[in-house]
Amino acid sequence: MNRIIKGKQSLLFENAPYIVSAASVTGSKEAAGPLGKLFDMTNEDDLFGAQTWEEAESTMQKEACVLALGKAHVKADEIRYLFGGDLLRQGIATSMGVEALQIPMFGLYGACSTSGEALALAGMSAAAGYGKYMLAVTSSHFGSAEKEFRFPLGYANQRPLSAHWTVTGSGAFLVRAAEPAATSASDAPAVNVLAEEPEESPTAAPNEDDISTTHISHVRIAGVTVGKIVDYGLKDSQNMGACMAPAAMDTIVQNFEDFGRSEQDYDRIITGDLGYVGQSILFDLVRDKGYDIRKKHLDCGMTIYDQETQDTHAGGSGCGCAAVTLASFIIPKIEKGEWKRVLFVPTGALMSTVSFNEGASVPGIAHGIVLEHWPQAE
Amino acid sequence: MNRIIKGKQSLLFENAPYIVSAASVTGSKEAAGPLGKLFDMTNEDDLFGAQTWEEAESTMQKEACVLALGKAHVKADEIRYLFGGDLLRQGIATSMGVEALQIPMFGLYGACSTSGEALALAGMSAAAGYGKYMLAVTSSHFGSAEKEFRFPLGYANQRPLSAHWTVTGSGAFLVRAAEPAATSASDAPAVNVLAEEPEESPTAAPNEDDISTTHISHVRIAGVTVGKIVDYGLKDSQNMGACMAPAAMDTIVQNFEDFGRSEQDYDRIITGDLGYVGQSILFDLVRDKGYDIRKKHLDCGMTIYDQETQDTHAGGSGCGCAAVTLASFIIPKIEKGEWKRVLFVPTGALMSTVSFNEGASVPGIAHGIVLEHWPQAE
């Protein structure tokens, strides 16, 4: 079974699971941006009918999950495990958001890299045969994040040019295990469902034919590169791009080494929220390692807002940023085969107001997810 | 591969991984308690040489990891993935604590259930063949937790009788995959190491013979029951036992149903930190489901302090509570065969000061880990 293990930090799934559906829910600023028309649900006042920013964020998570399930005609009780997280203290947006779904769950924290962490664990669990369906969900909200990390909105503080704008949004991803025998390269994606034990979800049985024929996906999680904490000693929590760029470099280069690849092997290398400051640092750091990703790189934080008309300074951020960009913009391109192989690398800055006030540095972490169009034309 | 899946929420590992070493680091109050002499490292001023409670907690995590590695003569770079978490906002005790180890890591949040979450994911990853060694670590600290959730220590507030005392401690667990072929019931635990790809950690190769002969463990993670969020609508964050008891019941009963077992099949059913208030509620809730666990139950929060001489009101709590009790007290009993099968169920109360101030309820979550002495005498 060790053929799965690649190099120091990576896994290559022999029987790669599929992302069968993805959903995105965002606020008004995101709706007005370049990807606005691609989101599944948006809200004008960013409250989603709730009384507080935190409750609004929870509502987004729940809606994103329900939408992802609905697109695939899968019910919540068919999901084996949920992997979710957010930026708030003690992850309350997730706890309160997914509670109603009643899916056994793992709460995660990886700052803005959490969508990568959730997809990695969902993919690992599906590939291991621990269940047919896994759900990965993350969120962030501008209002709750400003309160959590910076100043109350009413204070109207000035933001430095290196600061990011936290994306109000949640992305959810339904991950399905491949059929056990689908190891040979077939022309079609796995369409058969896993054999089920009689004892589990007998109610799902009548729909199985439906599911197997209608929920075909061409997007699979081919592998992961799990990130480690990278600390260059930077302490400026208002310059997260600089804090996270070393971690992004570390994971991207490790992915190349573990898989024996280079930037040539990917159609796109997509970071989460390095922004304009972090991107230029990333290019320099990666070049020092002998690679040049400039022509392949895209950053979700630079993609989600229009820098001309929606000046956010350094770009978008938050665990919703990479998640909604993946769900609305990246996955459809892989699904259509426009991009055959993408390295998706959400990046996180590990800090809290307490660690900042106590003078600690802001280390970064980034998880790499290899997403492939299937079948691959070799 | 679906033989792994049990019922609605559980997994039974066909080739169960081992806990090859465990380490506990605690503060002074824990050192003075009934388990005091069992801990690997204690500290008199609870600061562990650091300047802040948060830094002290990080130091505990790092020391616990280093001790667990040292006991098994395994180096940090042999660990494939680390699963860690704590109670602080944005999990900074973990981020800053394990940073120096440079192990690819997954940050977790499950409140006081995090040790169960970490062991579940470490066991799942090892059983899936994703690496030979995984590390699970959690921590809590009385000083940092009071600051995070309640009042600064200098304020000297009164605590209600239902309140818990957060354990200052960290527990780390080194999980090793079984050898791939060990599916038949053998008289001896797996002593051979997994075959390794030539490309990975060539430096570790010279030690392999050592490892295979000296680090035998009789404790294995036989299965897991992943918990879901259970909310009875309680809002009193100073009565966490009552908030968590429904989740503990839910996971214990689900474990019984998923595995076709009852309390008779376990030598002990051990919750994390329900305390004196939560235990009596748990007994009632479980009895309503047709089971009686009174003779098999033990709670780490009631075990770690002496209620006569160290009055902590409801008992100990925190993700360090279950972790250090498991490492110092429970695992040795399983190792010796005194207990053949234990259901370890750390419990968490999902809340933050923000959710509390906004009037949200305090739902609970509990993850069940089936620990077995191996070989089992049938």
Which residues neighbour B308 within 8 Å (Cβ) at sequence distance 6 or greater? none
**Is the Cβ of A125 closer than 8 Å to some Cβ of chain B?**
yes
Q: Which of residues 41-60 of B touch A (CB under 8 A)?
A: 51-52, 54-55
Pairing verdict, β A133-140 and A169-176 = antiparallel
Q: Is A56 helix (H, G, I), strand (E, B) or coil?
A: helix
Instruction: Output the CA angle A254-A255-A259, nearest 5 degrees.
Output: 115
B106/A108 touch (CB, cutoff 8 Å), yes or no: yes
Task: For residue B308, give how far its alpha carbon lies from the nearest alpha carbon of chain A (Å).
Answer: 33
DSSP single-letter state for residue B329: I
B355 and chain A in contact, CB less than 8 A? yes
C-alpha distance from A78 to closest chain B C-alpha (Å): 9
Consecutive H or E run containing B212: helix B208-214
Interface of A with B in 265-304 (CB under 8 A): none
Residue B102: predicted pLDDT: 98
The reply to whether residue A110 touches residue B111, judged by beta carbons under 8 angstroms, is no
DSSP A358: T
**B231 — contact with chain A (CB < 8 Å)?**
yes
ipTM rounded to 2 decimals: 0.92
Q: How many CA atoms lie within 13 A of A5 on its CB side?
A: 24
Please judge whether A200 and B98 are an interchain contact, meaning their C-beta atoms are less than 8 angstroms apart. Answer: no
pLDDT of residue A57: 98
User: Distance between CA B231 and CA B320 in Å, rounded?
Assistant: 23
Please report the DSSP string for A231-295 in residue order.
Answer: ------TT-HHHHHHHHHHHHHHHHHHHHT--GGG-SEEEESS-HHHHHHHHHHHHHHTT---TT
- Residues 6+ away with beta carbon under 8 Å from A126: A17, A132, A133, A134, A175, A176, A177, A221
A357 touches chain B (CB under 8 A): no
pLDDT score, position A209: 40
**CA of A240: how far to CAs of A283, A317, A350, B202, in Å?**
16, 9, 10, 36
Q: How far is CA A206 from CA A46, A75, A200, A209, in A?
A: 39, 13, 13, 7
Residue B89 contacts A where some CB pair is shorter than 8 Å: yes
In angstroms, the CA A145 to CA A168 distance is: 9
* C-beta atoms of A109 and B194 within 8 A: no
The answer to whether B104 faces chain A, any CB pair under 8 Å, is: yes
Q: For residue A216, how far is the Cα from the chain centroid?
A: 21
CB contact under 8 A, B87 and A90: yes
- Quick: pLDDT tens for A299-336: 999 999 999 999 999 999 999 999 999 999 999 999 99
User: Distance (Å, rounded) from C-alpha A132 to C-alpha A81?
Assistant: 10
Extract the tokens encoding B368: 């069940």
The three-point CA angle A185-B125-B259 to 5° equals 105
* A88: nearest Cα among B357, B199, B60, B313: B357
User: Which tens digit of pLDDT belongs to each residue from A103-128?
Assistant: 999 999 999 999 999 999 999 999 99
Distance (Å) from the alpha carbon of A53 to chain B's nearest alpha carbon: 10
Q: B91, A102: Cβ pair inside 8 Å?
A: no
From the list A8, A89, A360, which residue is nearest B89 (CB)? A89
- The DSSP secondary-structure symbol of A154 reads G
* Closest chain A CA to residue B104: A228
Pair type for strands A105-108 and A79-85: parallel
Rounded Cα–Cα distance for residues B195 and B206 (Å): 13
Least confident of A154-163, A366-375, B97-106, B355-364: A154-163
Contact A289, A249 (CB under 8 A): yes
Chain A residue numbers with beta carbons less than 8 Å from the beta carbon of B96 are 350, 355, 360, 363
Task: Count CB atoms within 10 A of the CB of residue A163.
Answer: 22
Sign (positive/negative) of CA torsion B182, B183, B185, B189? positive
Nearest CB to B229: which of A99, A352, A360? Answer: A99
Q: Can you tell me which residue has the tokens 């000693």?
A: A233
By Cβ distance, the residue of B89, B105, B131 closest to A354 is B89
pLDDT tens per residue across span A190-230: 333 343 343 444 444 444 444 443 457 999 999 999 999 99
Can you spell out the DSSP letters for B236-253? -TT-HHHHHHHHHHHHHH
Q: What is the pLDDT of residue A261?
A: 98
Q: Which comes out higher in pLDDT, residue A206 or A238?
A: A238
Q: Could A226 and B104 be called an inter-chain contact, meaning their C-beta atoms sit closer than 8 Å? A: yes
User: Between residues 333 and 352 of chain B, which touch chain A (CB distance below 8 Å)?
Assistant: 350-352
Which residue on chain A is closest to B144 by alpha carbon?
A: A354
- Quote the minimal CA–CA distance from A309 to chain B in Å: 32
Cα(A132)–Cα(A78) distance, rounded to whole angstroms?
A: 8
pTM for this entry:
0.92
Contact A254, A9 (CB under 8 A): yes
Nearest CA in chain B to A120: B106
Single-letter amino acid code for the residue at A299: D
Closest approach of A24 to chain B, Cα-based (Å): 23
Burial zone of B3 (CB within 10 Å; 0-12 exposed, 13-18 middle, 19+ buried): exposed
Structure tokens at B171: 């527990």
Interface test with B, best of A79, A130, A148, A221 (most B CBs within 10 A): A130
How close is the nearest chain B Cα to the Cα of A308, in Å?
33
Q: Does B351 contact A124 at a Cβ distance shorter than 8 Å?
A: no
Sort out which chain A residues have CB atoms less than 8 A from B85's CB and list them: 109
pLDDT 10s digits, A86-96: 999 999 999 99
- Taking contacts as CB-CB distances below 8 angstroms, the residues of chain B near A180 are 1
A153: closest CA of chain B, how far (Å): 16
Contact between chains at A106 and B95 (C-beta distance less than 8 A):
no
pLDDT digits (tens, 9 = 90+) for A1-58: 457 999 999 999 999 999 999 999 999 999 999 999 999 999 999 999 999 999 999 9
Which residues are within 8 A (CB) of B361 and not within 5 positions of it... i.e. 6 or more apart? B231, B232, B233, B234, B235
Per-residue pLDDT of chain B (378 residues), as tens digits, is 457 999 999 999 999 999 999 999 999 999 999 999 999 999 999 999 999 999 999 999 999 999 999 999 999 999 999 999 999 999 999 999 999 999 999 999 999 999 999 999 999 999 999 999 999 999 999 999 999 999 888 888 889 999 999 999 999 999 999 976 444 444 334 333 343 343 444 444 444 444 443 457 999 999 999 999 999 999 999 999 999 999 999 999 999 999 999 999 999 999 999 999 999 999 999 999 999 999 999 999 999 999 999 999 999 999 999 999 999 999 999 999 999 999 999 999 999 999 999 999 999 999 999 999 998 765
pLDDT at B180: 62
Q: Which residues of B113-138 are buried (b: 16+ CB within 10 A; e: fewer)?
A: bbbbbbbbbbbbbbbbbbbbbbbbbb
Asked if A227 lies within 8 A of B105 by C-beta distance, the reply is yes
Asked if the C-beta of A183 comes within 8 angstroms of chain B's C-beta atoms, the answer is no
Mean pLDDT of chain A: 91
What letter does residue B34 receive in the DSSP assignment? T
Residue B73 CA to residue A155 CA, distance in Å, equals 54
Tokens linked to B132: 């030979």
Q: Across the A/B interface, how many CB contacts are shorter than 8 Å?
A: 203
Residue of B nearest to A259 (CA): B199
CA of B40 vs chain A CAs: smallest distance (Å) = 27
Report yes or no: A85 at the B interface, CB cutoff 8 Å.
Answer: yes
